[in-house]
Amino acid sequence: MEKRNPQLRNIKRILVANRGEIAVRAIRAIRELGGESIAIYSEGDKNSIHKDLADFSICVGGANPKESYLNIPSILSAVEVSLADAVYPGYGFLAENPTFAALCERSNITFVGPSSKTLEIVGDKAKAREAAIRANVPVIPGSPPVKDLDDAIQNARKIGYPLLIKASAGGGGRGMRIVNNERELIKLLPIAEREAEGNFGDPTVYLEKYIKNPKHIEIQILADKYGNIIHLGERECSIQRRHQKIIEEAPSPFLTDDIREEMGKAAVRFAKEVDFVGAGTVEFIVDENKNFYFIEMNGRIQVEHPITEIITGIDIVSWQLRIADGQPLTIKQEDIKQKFHAIEFRINAEDPENFVPNIGKIKRVYIPGGFGVRVDTHIYCGYEIPPYYDSLLAKLIVYGENREEAIIRGKRALKEFIVEGVKTLRDFHLKILEDEEFLNGSYTTNLVDKNYLRET
């Protein structure tokens, strides 16, 4: 399908502007491509393994992300002193920050991702929605950014209740409010605007029709600098708690081949419309009648990318780097075949009964293995989990010839996954693998909140 392990030609020293498992993942890919990796770390991450695996490492500030991983001047200084050719942003932190990408562009530093102009579009939900409409991609009935309360009321009456108030600059399920009637809209609109301002620095919100019990399905995109765009199929991401994904699988047990093909083509059209370059994901929700609607595009690598790598045999992170290096895609759409069924479990440091984050020292750890098992992680025995960052400790990925085999392997591997000293979601994942709705593939985004979530 493609030549294996080609070497980087133009970007040789790459600063990894992230931490945890995605930093480890990037460092491995850089090394395989013949490049040198520079890790950055905070004072809170002085014992993190990613800094030891890289060729070089630089402390960029305090434990608080604002002082380190979100500190643009400090990171750009690290780029300068390390003589880096490029910056790999991973996910979260500055991965989709158009200002950071623009500063890299102005400094003649390669940003491994789309252009700052593209990030400005896809990072603004209202602008992304407009782009989807231009690309003839189905969108949920909704409004432009609301001007004031009267404008919101008028738009809500056109759309119909229930609806969502959504932050234009939001993401990851944050900044959303469900509204069932006009009285709730009047009450919740100013609250939503304040939340948007507090979380994203932008109070702009818009309205969108609320689709109850949808499936959340995303399409993986690869696009080079020469106009070549392909998709790598879909991932089912409907196992969520409070809009945060915790289990993903590929392919979706819900889609038909016809819908799968239609969604892939729609995702490619959207990527072309926004001049996308790199690895990104176009996200949709799908109703019970298999009608799909665009919700957003993530212009970065996704946490759940390994399941797509498993079923297609394509190294997405390697391709991110190769595309940034100026190499053209050598894969054609007709080359993409889904060979296996894969499931990813996020092993978060959280109480499995209520999802409350749990920090502490890992006293013992055993990583499962065997045929059909992959684990992406940065933890080790004795690792002290810092309280400043995301709770993700590891990603357990299992695969099999079919979904049934993958589920059986998932149960086996989860039972082997031992982490002592902190609580993790391992036992919760085992419960889901016994859930009837999950087993028959009918589950939707409300499964966890409806059946498993206990408020604290």
243: left (phi over 0), alpha (psi -120 to 50) or beta: left
Tokens of 298: 């993530």
Q: Report the candidate in 210, 211, 205 with the shortest Cα–Cα distance to residue 151.
A: 205
Cα 102 to Cα 24, 199, 208, 223, 408, distances in angstroms: 25, 22, 30, 19, 46
Backbone angles phi, psi at 452, to 5 degrees: -130, -15
Q: Report the candidate in 242, 217, 325, 218 with the shortest Cα–Cα distance to residue 277.
A: 325
Backbone angles phi, psi at 414, to 5 degrees: -65, -40
Among residues 25, 260, 300, 426, the one annotated as catalytic is 300
Tokens of 204: 């702009």
The DSSP bridge pattern shows strands 176-179 and 163-167 to be antiparallel
Q: Calculate ∠ Cα 93-95-96, nearest 5°.
A: 110
Q: At what angle do helices 98-106 and 72-82 cross, to 10 degrees?
A: 30
Peptide bond into 251 cis (omega under 30): yes
The secondary element (H helix, E strand) that includes residue 77 is: helix 72-82
Distance between CA atoms of 415 and 307, rounded to whole angstroms? 20
Do 264 and 234 meet the contact criterion of CB atoms below 8 Å apart? yes
HSE-up of residue 382 (Cα within 13 Å, Cβ side):
3
Tokens of 351: 């109480």
Q: Report the candidate in 197, 199, 198, 176 with the shortest Cα–Cα distance to residue 188.
A: 176
Reply yes or no on whether 235 is catalytic. no
Do 220 and 279 meet the contact criterion of CB atoms below 8 Å apart? yes
Do 270 and 131 meet the contact criterion of CB atoms below 8 Å apart? yes
Distance between CA atoms of 64 and 73, rounded to whole angstroms? 15
- Catalytic residue set: 300
